[in-house]
Each structure stands twice: as structure tokens, then as C-alpha cells.
Amino acid sequence: MVGVFIRGSYATKVMDGSKLISLNTGFCEVTNFFLYLNQSDPDSSMSWFVKELYKSELKGEKVYVLAHIPPGDSECLEGWAFNYYRVIQRFVNALRENSKDSIRKLMF
């Protein structure tokens, strides 16, 4: 299987009709002070995420999203989390699972 990598994020077809996206949420980390200059999409991975979801929506694929830092958590910048949830709301019909794993907690 061929996958797509961008700045620590990854997308690949898991089986017919399903795609796995591992989103690098390190770019929302509140302890990285350089991110305060551009909280919404500092490395363009959010734009890439939207394109991957859009392609899946057109193909009728169901998408599984994995991430490390839960958006909305105190570890994630508010601006980045806001955009993430806007994307999730837009593509809610294409999403099968949206799991985030943190060192302190696991959210499903």
C-alpha cells in the first residue's frame, strides 16, 4: 500500500472503502511558543487534512483519524483546535472513527 506523508502526518488506504489518517497534532502543542505566531495551520497539515477528507468523501470512503494530542484539551492551542473541529463538522459523514490518545488519557 502506498501512503501519503506530510510533516509527520500519514494517510493510507486500509481496505476497499476505508482510509486511515494519522494526523500530527504536535503542531497544536501549547508548550511550543513558535506556534503562537500562527495557531490555525502553522505547517499546512490542516489544509492537507481537508484535502484528504475531501478526496475520501468524493470516493465514498470511510475515514479513521488517529491523533496524539486531543483538540480541545489544555495541551492543544485553541485556534488550532477550533479549526480542527470545523473540519470534523464539515466531514462528519466521511468519518468512521476519530480517536485521540494522550499521555494522560484516552478519548474515543
Side chain identity at residue 62, one-letter code:
K
- The angle at the Cα of 51, spanning 19 to 86, to the nearest 5 degrees, equals 95
Q: Is 31 exposed, middle or buried (0-12, 13-18, 19+ CB in 10 A)?
A: exposed
Q: Which residue has the cell 477550533?
A: 82
Which residue range forms the structural domain that includes residue 40? 3-107
Task: Residue 71: name the closest of 87, 59, 85, 57 by CA.
Answer: 85
How many other CB atoms are there within 10 angstroms of residue 102's CB atom?
A: 15
Task: Give residue-wise pLDDT tens across range 4-58.
Answer: 666 788 899 988 999 999 998 888 889 988 888 887 888 888 999 999 999 999 9
What is the number of structural domains in the chain?
1
pLDDT in tens, 53-101: 999 999 999 999 988 888 888 888 888 999 999 999 999 989 886 555 4
Q: pTM higher than 0.85, yes or no?
A: no
